[in-house]
Chains A and B, each alone.
Chain A
Amino acid sequence: MKSIEELPRLKSAEELEALKLKVLPRIAIRKDPAAKPYNDVTHHIMICCDTGCASSGARAIVEAFTKELAAREMERTVDIVVIGCHGFCEMGPLLVIYPDDVYYIRLRPDDVGEIIDETIINHRPVPKLLYHDRESLRPIVRYNEIEFYAKQNRVLLANCGQINPEDVEEYVANDGYKALAKALSRRDDPLSLLEEVKKSGLRGRGGGGFPTALKWELCRQAEGEEKFIICNADEGDPGAFMDRSLMEGDPHRLLEGMVIGALIIGAQEGYIYVRAEYPVAVKRLKNAIAQAEAMGFLGDNILGSDWSFRIYVREGAGAFVCGEETALIHSIEGKRGMPTPRPPFPAISGLWGMPTNNNNVETWANIPGIILNGGDWFASYGTEKSKGTKVFALTGKIRNTGLAEVSMGLTMREIIYDIGGGIQNNKKFKAVQIGGPSGGCLPESMIDRPVDYDSLIEAGAMMGSGGLVVVDEDTCMVALAQFFLTFTRDESCGKCTPCREGTTRMLNILNNIVKGKGKAGDIELLEELARNIKLSALCGLGQTSANPILSTLNYFREEYKAHIYEKRCPAHHCIDLITYWIDADKCIGCGACRKKCPVQAIDGAPKKPHTIDISKCIKCGACFGACRKNQAIFKK
């Protein structure tokens, strides 16, 4: 990989194409198993070191490979390529070996020697490290044959896991910045470029689903000495990591999208507002910006033209509300991140009072594909009103935690069961929370609906940025609402009364309900609060804060009633409403539970049924976990 100083400065589309052809042979073995080795490099080991895999130990795998390859004097013929998110986080640390296209999962440093000896030297897979199909238990060598990947449509994520995100030349080799060159060639007719975006039907991927081209047009037409564009990379919903993965895995795609957007809108500067909690993304973005500036994709005289545009990275200090665009703008300005009323909309008066266009990471990153392949190409994916693909982060009680890109319009069932592999531990699906704390939940009865902007709104949820949190039968829906509301209450900026005071009051009521202190009228008061907060809060955070309550009340009202009127938690989750019992018929008197109990609440002679003294029991659940012989301990 070249250092910044070694990178060539490109001055035209022709030079870009020439560079692409020059770099292609270097990565050819990833695309074609029959390709010739380049500079004697016969293998590429692509190791995912994205945040998820890194936390499950991917760095140690990289070290082990470095060491083992050196020991075998193979470091010149085998390249270790650190890649961004490959998607299947559940299986990390994971890697792909080219040209053999072998996919290994859940690796430990001990496995590395065997991989080198078997797969790299002898071209044989190591079966125990392969993914095994859940039903047939058959080992699968190629990742794209795995169910998790097979149903996906990885268009936006095409480069994620396929290139070294810190090597701009690999991006170029995959047609990177070609869309920029194309856009520059039509610079005197930016409206034709805007037309492509319009034709694509792209809608904002950050939550609201506002048509991107329309937003750009407003900002384009607005009058101002200067114009700015912003990339909102303040991804803060619990359970969402789409934007992080995109920035970590393919940062140049985002930059390219922004440069093209700036060209169309007429902006002179761009800002990427990214969470400081994403250190890898920040590092890769800064590296990508430096590379792009060195090569003439960014900065002065882009690709030899007389047009200049700069991008700056601003790190957010960890406030969810800074995802709200006016708060985000104030934060960039160095002020406290608090929303201000709209109008004026940022398109008219945004950053430093100038016309500003703000889109999220996924929206910007879709632009190069649209410009390169045309709006019609993009519109060929998805449904009538929700075009293209969407990246979802699958989390919660789902088997295949990870990142999946699918065409809009797939059903939630397909996403959860086919891609996500269904529910962990053979539990029953209960609901999926979509759109994070601003969204809502969908119960079993709703998951055969297509996933698109409008049908989700209709169902009382929202697309949001694409975080899916799956919950199973053991989840109490009141407690789930309480969880999300705790988040919103904590993240409220405190400016407007309904959000500041209202979320607190709603949470108080929920806290009481889960503690068994709910009373008649609580549901109605919750609904009154929710209804009014939705109508009168200042910004999106407040207006949507009640959604988890409204949607759980809508679909799981009986659970609320059971808590309030019967002092019972149907999911056996709320500790104040459950009691642990030992079934005398099933108990074999092994004593495991008695030994685990921290408060000596369990008594019983060996090999005789045990009993729990409820007056002593603190409901820690230790006995429940300890009873392994049979399910003698139950919650009621």
Chain B
Amino acid sequence: MSDNVTLTIDNLEVSVPKGVTIWGAAKKLGINIPTLCHHPDLKPYGGCRVCVVEIQGAKALAASCSCPAAEGQKVKTNSPIVREARRLTVELLLANHPRDCFTCPRNQNCELQALAMDLGIREVRFDLAKPSWPIDETSPSLARDPNKCVLCGRCVRFCSDIQSCSVYTFANRGYGSIVSTAFGKDLSEVRCTLCGQCSVVCPVGAITVKDHTEQVLAAINDPQKIVVVQTAPSVRVALGESFGLAPGTIVTGQMVAVLRRLGFDRILDTNFTADVTIMEEATEFLQRLESGKNLPMITSCSPGWINFLEMFYPEMVEYHSTCKSPQQIFGALVKTYYAEKESLVSSKIVSVSIMPCTAKKFECLRPEMNASGYQDVDYVLTTRELAGLIKSSGLHFNSLKPEPYDSLMGQGTGAATIFGVTGGVMEAALRTAYEVVTKKTLLEVEFTAVRGLEGIREAEIDLDGTKIKVAVAHGLGRARKVLESIKAGNPNGWHFIEVMACPGGCISGGGQPISRDLAYRRKRINGLYQDDRELALRKSHENPEVQALYRDFLIEPCGHLSHKLLHTTLHNANERFHK
């Protein structure tokens, strides 16, 4: 039996492996069947009916996104019947969709708008039924406008099938259907990890990220304030997409230049504190390995993941590294170490971070994140907000000349830059741990076993006779599997685990540009690995600024001051919900 099927699509013959959908087979022929509910990360849904095609002999049209290609099928993707059905379906969607595109955050990056344009819809023959669902802005990171929802179910499916959190569900029936949280509670009242993936998969402006651009601009325009900005590793390979560049294009220098033009006083790099994180976390891990306590140790850079752990597995927080995330380490140091070194008054520093992440907006607000005596990080802007700020300021991003970061807390290694990709923190930690334990120079720095996009990746590393087993998980659904495995007695014998809330890691964080390129994850990942390769220093402990930090300020990793500034305690988040 052949594993391929051959069919005809629009009179062109095509062979595809069994199980491939008609949509996929058409893609192979270069035919883009429009769709709205279909998403490459998700299982076929077949709800929007935009991708319908005509199959010879069938009574009704089929949704090409879910219908498997079959031997001998004769498919038409663009017949008069298909065109009429598709256009009417989109017209029906437009009929009760608010027509406020001008003021919508997704204007010009909206799949419904694009569909209407592509299908040439020039008139909506049905009266606008005025939806009147309240907008939910209670979440620290996200805003939900159910009136704009097209009920494609992507958020529902992503949150349940990929992230295993099931924050959203469908409620009501028929025309009254909405996407809702359990019992219609506010987003702040349900166990939402704030990963923001729903805002990325939403094809329209129904789920958006809270915008803090105005607050940042106000700080910039306040002559009393020194505005210090840090940029996360993964932003540098994604920001360019907002300006037409290919995913993965490294735009570090232009980004620094643009931030300077925008009026930020100091442009520094989160990569610096990513290296610090490695110093702390690697040390912490080696301490735990020696004592045998609280193993396996799990990384802590991803605030969505932290929220997940606190919300769903509060009894397991001790497995977690106590180390703060690079953003918060940066915040704590900028108002202490940096202020001291640069002779700045801490109270006048406004600490801003540019992040790929929506959960960071909540992380900076945590009451325990004020080790400096002030709120360590004041505002978080996502990559998308930064792109918006750049556009609104009239700056021509692509023609800017690259500029370097300011010094002191502006330098990072290759190990830090790969923090932005799943497996990167693990790889960075191993680079340092290896040299610390073995006192030998690591020649082959690339731990390919922990790279890639496969589900849960495992590897065994020999640290001079001590074999340690590591695992890498990305996406909260897989994180749940890892935690369940630990609960079941850790049968795989893991010692060290990296978890990132978002599939692919920070490169596809909830605040990153919304890409239509199906291969965007892979391309951004390649961008970060390229950045790593091109940097002279690729191990965190070799970072001279980091070495200076320990020499002049912290004295030693996991020392007294580190514990005060760079480490934290996790909580049982359910106390928040059981009030």
* Chain A residues proximal to chain B, CB less than 8 Å: 319, 321, 336, 338, 340-341, 343, 489-505, 508, 525, 528-529, 532, 534-538, 543
Contact = CB atoms under 8 A, between A and B. Distances in A.
Chain A CB within 10 A, most for which of B44, B60, B92, B96:
B92
Given A341-B44, A532-B88, A501 B60 contact: no
A321 B174 CA distance: 10
A343 B67 contact: yes
Contact of A497 (B66, B93, B129, B176): B93
Contact of B49 (A343, A492, A497): A497
B175 A489 contact: yes
Interface stretch (B165-173, B227-235, B238-246, B439-447): B165-173
Interface in B67-106: 67-68, 81, 84-85, 88-89, 92-93, 95-96
A492 B174 contact: yes
Nearest to B177: A494
Given A341-B46, A494-B151, A501-B92, A536 B85 contact: yes
A535 B127 CA distance: 23
A489 B127 contact: no
Contact of A493 (B50, B96, B174): B174
Contact of A536 (B67, B89, B96, B175): B89
Interface size classification for chain B: 35 or more
Contacts of A502: 88, 92
Contacts of A338: 170
Interface string B325-357: 000000000000000000000000000000000
A495 B36 CA distance: 13
B66 A341 contact: yes
B323 interface: no
Contact of B48 (A489, A494, A497, A543): A497
Interface SS, B side? loop
B175 A498 contact: no
Interface in B112-169: 125-127, 129, 151, 153, 169
B198 interface: no
Given A343-B68, A489-B174, A492-B175, A498 B49 contact: yes
13 contacts: A336-B169, A341-B66, A490-B174, A494-B170, A494-B177, A496-B48, A496-B49, A497-B47, A501-B96, A532-B89, A535-B81, A538-B47, A538-B63
Contact of B84 (A492, A496, A505, A532): A532
Contacts of B63: 341, 538
A503 B174 contact: yes
B49 A341 contact: no
Contacts of A493: 173-174, 177
B173 A492 contact: yes
Contacts of A534: 60
B52 interface: yes
Given A341-B44, A496-B49, A500-B151, 20 more contacts: A336-B169, A338-B170, A340-B46, A341-B63, A341-B67, A493-B173, A494-B151, A494-B176, A495-B47, A498-B49, A500-B174, A500-B175, A501-B95, A502-B88, A505-B126, A508-B126, A534-B60, A535-B61, A538-B46, A538-B49
Contacts of B44: 341
A324 to B, nearest CB: 13
Interface centre among B85, B93, B127, B175 (most CB of A within 10 A): B175
A321 B173 CA distance: 10
Contact of A319 (B50, B85, B95, B173): B173
A505 B95 contact: yes
B95 to A, nearest CB: 6
A528 B95 CA distance: 16
Which of A336, A495, A543 has the largest count of B CB atoms less than 10 A from its CB?
A: A495
B88 A528 contact: yes
- The 8 A-B pairs at the shortest CB distance, nearest first, are namely A494-B177, A492-B174, A341-B46, A501-B92, A341-B66, A504-B175, A536-B85, A532-B85
Interface of B: 44, 46-50, 52, 60-61, 63, 66-68, 81, 84-85, 88-89, 92-93, 95-96, 125-127, 129, 151, 153, 169-170, 172-177
Contacts of A543: 60
Nearest to B62: A341
Contact of B89 (A494, A498, A503): A498
A499 B151 CA distance: 13
Chain B CB within 10 A, most for which of A336, A491, A503: A336
A410 to B, nearest CB: 28
A538 B67 CA distance: 12
A507 to B, nearest CB: 9
A100 to B, nearest CB: 52
A340 B67 CA distance: 11
A505 B68 CA distance: 31
B39 to A, nearest CB: 15
A492 B169 CA distance: 17
A491 B89 CA distance: 19
Contact of A495 (B50, B85, B88, B151): B151
B160 to A, nearest CB: 10
Contacts of A341: 44, 46, 63, 66-67
B77 to A, nearest CB: 14
Contacts of B49: 496-498, 536-538
Contacts of A499: 174
Contacts of B129: 504
B210 to A, nearest CB: 28
Nearest to A339: B46
Given A490-B173, A532-B84, A532-B85, A505 B48 contact: no
B181 to A, nearest CB: 14
Contacts of B88: 498, 502, 528-529, 532
A336 B170 contact: yes
A246 B413 CA distance: 76
Contacts of B47: 495-497, 538
Contacts of A498: 49, 85, 88-89, 92
Contacts of A319: 173
Contacts of A525: 125
Contacts of A340: 46
Contacts of A492: 173-175
Nearest to B156: A336
A535 B61 CA distance: 5
A503 B175 CA distance: 8
B272 to A, nearest CB: 48
A341 B61 CA distance: 12
A206 B512 CA distance: 50
A506 to B, nearest CB: 10
Nearest to A540: B60
Contacts of B66: 341
Contacts of A501: 92-93, 95-96, 175
A534 B49 CA distance: 12
Contacts of B151: 494-495, 497, 500
Most-contacted residue by chain B among A319, A490, A532 (CB, 10 A): A532
Nearest to A539: B46
A336 B176 CA distance: 15
Considering residues A319, A338, A494, which has the most beta carbons from chain B within 10 angstroms of its beta carbon? A494
Nearest to B178: A494
A494 B172 contact: yes
B93 A496 contact: no
Nearest to B44: A341
A495 B89 CA distance: 13
Contacts of B127: 508
Most buried by A among B85, B88, B93: B88
Residue from A341, A496, A501 with most neighbouring chain B CB atoms (10 Å): A501
A497 B92 contact: yes
Contacts of A321: 173
Given A525-B125, A529-B88, A538-B63, A494 B46 contact: no
Contacts of B48: 496-497
A503 B126 CA distance: 12
A503 B176 CA distance: 12
A236 B179 CA distance: 26
